[in-house]
Structure 1
Amino acid sequence: MTALTAAVDEPEDYSARHLSVLEGLEAVRKRPGMYIGSTDSRGLTHCMWEIIDNSVDEALGGFCTRIDVVLHGDGSVEVRDNGRGIPVDAEPRSGLPGVELVMTKLHAGGKFGSGSYNASGGLHGVGASVVNALSGRLDVEIDRQGRTHAMSFRRGIPGGFDGAGPDAPFTAGSGVEEVRRVAKKVTGTRIRFWPDRQIFLKDADIARESLLDRARQTAFLIPGLSIAVRDERFPEEGTYEEEFRFDGGIGEFCTYLAPDEAVNDVLRIQGSGQFTETVPVLDDQGHMTPTDVDRRLEVDIALRWGTGYETTARSFVNVIATPKGGTHMTGFERALVRVVNDQLRASKLLKDKDDPVTKEDVLEGLTAVVNVRLPEPQFEGQTKEILGTSAASRIVSQVVGKDLRAFLASTRRGEKQQARAVLDKVVNAAKARIAARQQRETQRRKNALESSALPAKLVDCRSEGLDRSELFIVEGDSALGTAKLARDSEFQALLPIRGKILNVQKSSVSDMLKNSECAAILQVIGAGSGRTFDLDAARYGRVILMADADVDGAHIRCLLLTLFYRYMRPMLEAGRVYAAVPPLHRIELTNVRKKRGAKPEDRYIYTYTDSELQRRLLELEKKQMTWKEPVQRYKGLGEMDADQLAETTMDPRHRTLRRIRVEHAEEAAKVFDLLMGNEVAPRREFISQGAQELDVSRIDT
C-alpha cells in the first residue's frame, strides 16, 4: 500500500524515458493480433491466405493461370504461382531490391495506384511483410528474366541459412542471390514460410477443409484459374491432392451453393459505375497530396431463388471474401427489396392496403454471390471482413435494380413464368411471416389464459397421462352426441368438426390458421405446428380420426391427414395417429336365442366391406342360420346407438384401428401433392386412369 501511494504522489517518475517506439516489423511481432486477428489456427490460416492472395491478385490481372499450395510435413507452407514474379531490381528511393522491400517494409507494394493492378485484394501492403515478421524462416524464389532469384528471412530480417528448416544457423545480410538459369518465358514466385512458434500457439494448425473450401471458392470467382492443394503432413495417410478449376464463374458457384430446388434459373447481373474519390497521392517530392481520382467499380452478381427457406449469400471484393458484408451488400439488398415491392404492386399481387414485403421475405430461399472489383477498396481493418467504400452501395443498387426489374417484368415466355414464381414465393413468405406472428400472439394468449384458449366444443377426458389418453376427431355433431355416451370419459376425449376442413396442401399457413377447424385441432393437440411442433408437448397419446364409412368420410380423413402431414408430421412419424374403422353393415340373427348359452350381443354380426358381408351371409346360410331382412347398412356414425358405437368403434377391447404411418416421406409427399395440390392436370389424369378400374356397383348412390 505504501509503495503504491508513493508512486502516485511522485508523478515525475513517469517521464519521456518510459515511452517507446516500435519500428517496422517490431510492431507486428509485439501486437500480432492487430494484423492477423489471433495467434491460433485462425491467425495462421490468415497468414497463409495473405501469401495466396498475392498470387490471386496476379490471376485477377490476367498474369497467372495456376497456383499450387503445399502443406509440408515439417509444418511449413509453400505457395507457388506462374505470375510475373516479384520485382528484384532496386527500388529508387530506398535502394532495396523490390522483393526485400515488400517483405520487410509495411505498406510497401504495387497496389497503391501505381498502375500495376487495376483491382487487388492486398491493398494495404502489409500482408507479405506481416507473414515474414511472424515466420521463423521464410524463403522466396522468383523466376524473372531468364533467372531464378532467391532470398531468405528470419523473423523479418534478411539473410542466409546454412541448412534446412528454421533452426539452421542464420547469418543476417541484405541482397538477392541468383541461383540458376531458366527459360526467359518462365516466370513466377515461390514462397515457403515456417510459422514462428514464439508467436503462434503450439496447437495452431491449418485445417485442410477450410483450405479446400476457400481454394474452391477462389477458383469459382476467377474462371480459368487452377488451384491445386497438396497436403503432406500425415505420411501415415498418404499425400492428399486436389485441384480446382471452374470455367463457369460465379454462375456455377451459385448453383454449387444452392441447398434446394430452383424456382428460377441462375440470374446473372453485370454492370459497372464511375465514382470520384479523394485520396492522398505521393508526388515527385515525396509529399502526400490530396487528389481527386476517378474510379471504376465493376459489379458481377449471380442469384437464384429456391424452394427452401434458408438464405445463402456470399460477398466478395476483388475475390476477397467479406463475411460481414459492407456497402456492396447494403446496395444489393436495398435494390432487391425496392424492385420486388415495385413489381408486386404493379402485378397486383400486393394490394394498396397491404404492407410492403420486408428484406427477410425477399431473401427467403435466395442463393446469391455478390462480387465487386475496384481499385483500392476501403476495408474496415486488415482482416478485410467489411467493405467500407461508400460509393459501392449506390452503384451496386443501380446495377441490380436495372437488371432485376427487367427480369421480373419480362414478357418472354420462360422468364415470365419464372418471374411470377419468384414473386409468388416472396408473397407466400410474407404471408407466412405474418401468420407466424399471429400464431405467436395466439400462443402467448394461450399461455396467459391457460385452459380458456381450448375450444368450447372440446369434450375433454379426466386423465392427463399420455399412455392411455385418446383424442377422437369426430365428423359431425350428430355423431358427437352418440360418441359422448359411448366413450370412456376417463381417457377418451372428443373434438367434433363440421364437415370437410380446409385443404391445407394448396393453402398458405395464414389461411390454415384462419380456418376455425384447423386452428381448433392445433390448439387441442397443443404442440404447435410446422417447424415449431414439439411432440413432447402433445396433450394426447393417440389421435383417432373417426368418420363415416363412405366416400365423404374417406375424403374427410384425407383432408385431416394432409393437415397432420404438413403441420404435425412428427405425430405421424411416431405412429400416434390412427383411423377408426366403423362397420358398414349389421346382420341381426333371428334364431340365435334358441341355442344353448347364447348371449344377447351374439344376435348381431358386423361387417366392414361388401365382400365381407357376402362371405358372412354365405357362411350363415350353410349353417342354416336366419337373419332379419333387409340387412342394415349404416349411412353414418349417427345411425348407431351408443352401445353399438362403443362395441364396434370405441371400446379398446373390441374395436379395430388403422395406424397411419409415413414410411416413405418423399413418396407420401408426391401422393399428397397429386391428390390435394394445386396442379389439376395430373390429378385429372390420375382419376381418368383409375376410372377404368372402378367397380360402379360399389358407388354409394
Structure 2
Amino acid sequence: MTAEYSAHHLQVLEGLEAVRKRPGMYIGSTDSRGLMHCVWEIVDNAVDEALGGYGSRIDVVLHADGSVEVRDRARGIPVDVEPRTGLTGVEVVFTKLHAGGKFGGGSYAASGGLHGVGASVVNALSERLDVEVDRGGKTYAMSFHRGEPGVFDGPGPDSPFRPFERASELRVVGKTAKGVTGSRIRYWADRQIFTKDATFNLGELEQRARQTAFLVPGLQIDITDERPGSAPVAALESAAESSAESETTPAETGATVTTFRYDGGISEFAEFLAPDAAITDTWRLTGSGTFTETVPVLQPGGAMVPTDVERTCEVDVAVRWGTGYETVMRSFVNIIATPKGGTHQAGFEQGLMKVIRSQVDQNARRLKVGNDKLDKDDILAGLTAVLTVRLPEPQFEGQTKEILGTPAVRAIVANVVAKELTTRFASTKRDDKTQTALVLDKVVSEMKARISARTHKETQRRKNALESSSLPAKLADCRTSDVSQSELFIVEGDSALGTAKHARNSEYQALLPIRGKILNVQKASISDMLGNAECAAIIQTIGAGSGRSFDLDAARYGKIILMSDADVDGAHIRTLLLTLFFRYMRPLIEAGRVYAAVPPLHRVIIMNPGSKPNETVYTYSEQELHSLLAKLTKSGRRWQEPVQRYKGLGEMDADQLATTTMDRAGRTLRRVTVRDAEAVSGVFELLMGSDVAPRRDFIVSSSDRLDREAIDA
C-alpha cells in the first residue's frame, strides 16, 4: 500500500479480461449458481429464436467429461463478416461484449437477451468452447480457449491449442441438406474461475426447462445427462405430474433423457403450480398497450441518436383461486423469470385489487362487509397466477434480470387486468357468476379471519411457560424464559424420551415425545390435523398458532430439533414432521429455526495398550466406519468386536446421547431450509399422496436403482 495515487495506478481492462477479472458482475457468483447461470445464457439464446418462430426443439446435454452442449434448429448464428469489425458473426458474438442482434435492429420483436454479453461471458469463463453452425448448406466451426479464437489439436480442454495469429478462420467442416439450419455450442467451464465444489444441478436445469416449455407452447426441450452415477431427478418429479408431456427415459448409452413439451401454455402452467383444489377455472387475461420511450438508436454511420420509439407491450395472465390460503405467483418478461417482481407484477396487483375491492363494495350487503377494508393479502390468499409480458428491449435491474424496471409497463398491465377481470365479473354466464361469487366469498372470509386474529392478538396477552395451562402433560419443559436460548427436541417414542431426559440440559432443553408416525397432513383437512393428538400437541407446545395466524414472535423456543432414529422409520417420521411444519408453520423454517438432529450410527472402542484408557469414536455412516477401520488396521491398532450399531436412540446411554446428539459442544445439527421442505413435500406427495398412478410409475421406473445391500432388514 502507498499513499501515492495517480493516473499510472489505474488499470483498463479490455474486452473479455473484465469478465475474467470480475465474473460476479456478469453471472452473480462463481459457485454452482454462477455455473448454472452460464447454461441459462446459452439456452436462452436458443429459446429467443424459438420465441420468434424459428425452431421447435432444443437439446441440452450434460456430457460425462463435465462439458455442456446446447443444440438448436433455429436460423443459426450469422457466419458472414460484420462490416465494422471485419470479423465473422460467430466471432463477434463470442468475443465482443455488448454485441448481438437484440438492440432493436429488427431481428427480434421480443427476447430474453438484451445486453449482448451472454455468449461472450460464457466464452470468457470457459476453458474451451466449440461452436458449430449450419447455414447455407454448410457446417461452419470455430473454437475458443478462455475467449481467444484458435485451433485445438484434439478433443477436450487439455488438448494443445494454437491461437490465430494474423486473422481468425471460420472453418467449413461439412455439408448439410438444403434448408437445414441451427447451432451447436459445447463448452467446458474454466475451473480457474469457478469453485471446486461448483456443479451442474440437474434438478434446476429440468425445472427451468419445464418452465420454458410451459411459456413457449409447442417447444420441445430434451435434457440428457451422461454423467456417471447421476440420478434421474426428473423421474421422481415428472412421475407426480398430471401432464403426459414430460417424461424421463433411459437412452441407449445409459444416459437419462428427459423431454418437456406442453401445448397448453400458461393455463397448464398455473394448474401445475396450484397447491390446492380449485374454486375457479383458470382464467386467461390478455391484452396489450403501447407507450413511447426515448432510447439511443444506432445509426448506419455508427452514431447513437436519441429517438422517440413507440413500444407495444403484450400481456398474458393465467389466474385461478383455490381452497387454500397459499399464494403462488410466477412472473416473466419475454419468458425470463423475474423472481423479485418489478413494474409488471406491481401493475397486476394494482389492477387485481382495484377490481376485487370494487366488486366487494357493490356486493357489500350480501357479503356483510360493514366498514372493513380488503387488504392485498386477503385477495392473494389461495391465488395461483402466471404473469407474462412481452415487449422489445425491457429495462432490467442488472445482468441477472430479476426485476423489471420499465415504468410504463405497470399502467398497461393494470389496465389489461382490470378490464379483463371486470368483464369476467360482469358476465351473465352461469359458471362465471358462480365462480366470481365464490371468489368474493373467499376474499371477504380471509379479511374477516385476519381482522379477528388481529383483534384476538391485541386483546389477549401472551402467556409464558409457567402461566400456560394448555401445554401437553407429556412435555418435559425447560426452565429458561429466554426464547433465543431455548430448544425443543421432538423425540421419537417414550424409550428415547427416558434416555433424553437424563442426557439433556434442563435449563434450556425441552422434550416432547410423539408416539409413532403422526398424521399425513399432505391430504388431511385442517380440522383433521387439529384433531390429531400428536399434531395438536406440537402446535400447542410451540405456542405460535398455525396456518395464516401463525405468529413467529410468539414461538416459545428458539430452535425446534427433530430427533428420530437413524433408520427408515425415523426418516419417515422426520418427513411427516417436516410436512407439518412446511404446511402449517412455515415461518419457522423460513427463519432457519427448524433442525434435524444427527445421531451416530456406530460406536467404535479403540483399545490402547497398558493402562491407558480406551478411546471411543462415533461414526455417522457406513462409509465413515469403513474408512476408520481401514485407518486403524493400517496403523496396527485394535478395536473391540463387535462394533456397536445403534438401531434407535433408546439403545444409547444418556452420556452417549448427550455427547453425540444433544450437547451443544459436540453435536451436529442439520438446518432445514425452505428448499429442503419443498423437496420433502413434493416427494411425500408422490410417495404418500392419494394419487396411486404416479407412485406406481415411479416404483417401476426406479426399481433398477435399488441397492439391496442398503436394506436394513
TM-score (norm 1): 0.64
Whether the 8 Å contact between 1:106 and 1:125 is mirrored in structure 2 is yes
What corresponds to 1:44 in structure 2?
35
Q: Does 1:201 align with 2:208?
A: no
1:404 equivalent to 2:425? Answer no
CA pair 356-88 structure 1, distance change in 2 beyond 3 A: same
The residue that corresponds to 2:306 in the other structure is: 290
Structure 1 residues 449 and 171, CA gap change in structure 2 (3 angstroms) = closer
Pairwise CA distance, 1:369: 0.3
Q: Could you tell me whether the CA contact under 8 Å between 1:409 and 1:419 is conserved in 2?
A: no
Structure 2 residue aligned with 1:339: 355
- Structure 1 residues 22, 236: closer, same or farther in 2, change over 3 A? closer
Aligned to 2:182: 188
Q: Which residue of 2 aligns with 1:84?
A: 75
What do the CA deviations read for 1:648-700 (whole angstroms, capped 9, x no partner)? xxxxxxxxxxxxxxxxxxxxxxxxxxxxxxxxxxxxxxxxxxxxxxxxxxxxx
Match of 1:440 among 433, 457, 461: 457
Q: Show the counterpart of 2:332.
A: 316
Q: 2:81 is paired with a residue of what secondary structure?
A: coil
Q: Following TM superposition, by how much is the alpha carbon of 1:436 offset from its aligned partner in structure 2, in angstroms?
A: 1.3
What secondary structure sits across from 1:402 in the alignment?
helix
Give the aligned partner of residue 290 of structure 2.
Answer: 274
Return the offset for 1:17.
1.3
> Which residue is equivalent to 2:536?
none
Aligned to 1:48, the other structure's residue is in SS state helix
Unaligned runs of 5+ in 2: 232-253, 476-525, 528-539, 557-583, 585-713
Which residue pairs with 2:159 in the alignment?
A: 168
Q: How does 1:121-136 map to 2 (within 5 A)?
A: 121-136=112-127
Letter in 1 for 2:38: C
| Cα distance change on mapping 1:353 and 1:136 into 2, 3 Å | same
Q: Which residue of 2 aligns with 1:373?
A: 390
Distance change (3 Å), C-alpha of 1:61 and 1:533: closer
Residue 98 of structure 1 and its aligned partner are, at CA, apart by 0.5
2:315 match? 299
Please state whether the residue corresponding to 2:405 is helix, strand or coil. Answer: coil
Query: Residues 239 and 467 from structure 1, CA distance in 2 versus in 1: closer, same or farther, beyond 3 angstroms?
Result: closer
Aligned to 1:73: 64
The alpha carbon displacement at 1:530 in A equals 4.9
Please give the alpha-carbon distance, in whole angstroms, between the structure 2 residues aligned to 1:123 and 1:164.
Answer: 33
Which amino acid letter does the alignment assign opposite residue 414 of structure 2?
Answer: S
Alpha-carbon distance between aligned partners in 1 of 2:30 and 2:230, rounded to the nearest angstrom: 28
Q: Cα–Cα, structure 1 residues 290 and 536, in superposed 2: closer, same or farther, change >3 Å?
A: closer
Counterpart secondary structure, 1:103: helix
Partner SS for 2:87:
coil
Letter in 2 for 1:363: L
Distance 1:407 1:266 in 2: 12
Retained in 2: the 8 A contact 1:331–1:393? yes
* 1:107-122 aligned within 5 A: 107-122=98-113
**What is the alpha-carbon distance in structure 1 between the residues aligned to residue 200 and residue 150 of structure 2?**
27
CA contact (8 A) 1:343 1:409 kept: no
Q: Which residue number in structure 1 is paired with residue 432 of structure 2? A: 415
Is this contact kept in 2: 1:527–1:533, CA < 8 A?
no
Distance 1:386 1:296, change over 3 A: same
SS of 1:230's equivalent in the other structure is strand
Equivalent-residue separation in structure 2 for 1:116 and 1:147 (angstroms): 22
Aligned counterparts of 1:310 and 1:207: Cα–Cα separation in 2? 27
Match of 2:409 among 392, 395, 398: 392
Residue 277 of structure 1, CA deviation:
1.0
Secondary structure in structure 2 of the residue aligned to 1:204: coil
Q: Which secondary structure state, in structure 2, belongs to the residue aligned with residue 167 of structure 1?
A: coil
The answer to whether the 8 A contact 1:301-1:368 is kept is yes
Cα deviations by residue, 1:555-608 (Å, 9 ceiling, x for unpaired): xxxxxxxxxxxx9xxxxxxxxxxxxxxxxxxxxxxxxxxxxxxxxxxxxxxxxx
What residue in structure 1 maps to residue 204 of structure 2? 210
Equivalent residue, structure 2, for 1:63 = 54
Larger Rg: 1
Match of 1:386, SS state, is coil
Letter in 2 for 1:324: K
Write out per-residue CA displacement over residues 496-524 of structure 1, whole angstroms, 9 at most, x where no aligned residue. Answer: xxxxxxxxxxxx99xxxxxxxxxxxxxx9
**What SS does the aligned partner of 2:399 have?**
coil
Q: In structure 2, what is the Cα distance between the partners aligned to 1:393 and 1:202?
A: 43
Q: Deviations over 1:285-342 (max 9, x none)?
A: 2111100001100001101000011100000000100000000000001111111000
Q: What is the deviation of 1:450?
A: 9.2
1:123 counterpart SS class: coil
Change over 3 Å in CA distance of 1:207–1:533 after alignment to 2? closer
SS of corresponding position for 1:435: helix
Shift in alpha-carbon separation, 1:73–1:450, aligned structure 2, 3 A: closer
Per the alignment, residue 577 of structure 1 pairs with none
**2:447 aligns to what?**
430
Structure 2 residue 225 is matched with structure 1 residue 231: yes
Residue aligned with 1:171, SS: strand
Q: TM-score, normalised by structure 2?
A: 0.63
Q: How far has the Cα of 1:382 moved from its partner? A: 0.3
Cα distance change on mapping 1:105 and 1:407 into 2, 3 Å: same
**Structure-2 change in CA distance of 1:449 and 1:229 (3 Å):** closer
- Map 1:199-598 onto structure 2 (within 5 A): 199-234=193-228, 238-348=254-364, 349=366, 353-443=370-460, 445-447=461-463, 466=473, 530-531=546-547
Q: Distance in 1 between matches of 2:16 and 2:71?
A: 24
Sequence identity percentage:
62
Q: Distance in 2 between matches of 1:181 and 1:526?
A: 70
Give the Å deviation of 1:135.
0.3
- RMSD over aligned Cα atoms: 2.9
Q: Give the secondary-structure state (helix, strand or coil) at the position aligned to 1:298.
A: strand
Task: Tell me the alpha carbon deviations over residues 414-472 of structure 1, each in whole angstroms, 9 at most, x when there is no partner.
Answer: 110000001111001111111111222233x2549997x99xxxxx9xxx99379xxxx
Q: 1:529: how far off?
A: 5.5
CA contact (8 A) 1:345 1:351 kept: no
Asked whether 1:156 is paired with 2:154, we answer: no
Q: Return 378-387 or 167-176, whichever deviates more.
A: 167-176
- What displacement does 1:406 show? 1.3
Distance 2:37 2:472 in 1: 57
The 1:86–1:30 alpha-carbon spacing in structure 2 relative to 1, beyond 3 Å, is: same
CA distance in 2, matches of 1:528, 1:22: 55
Q: State the Cα distance separating 1:167 from its structure 2 match.
A: 1.1
- Cα distance in 2 between the residues matched to 1:369 and 1:87: 35
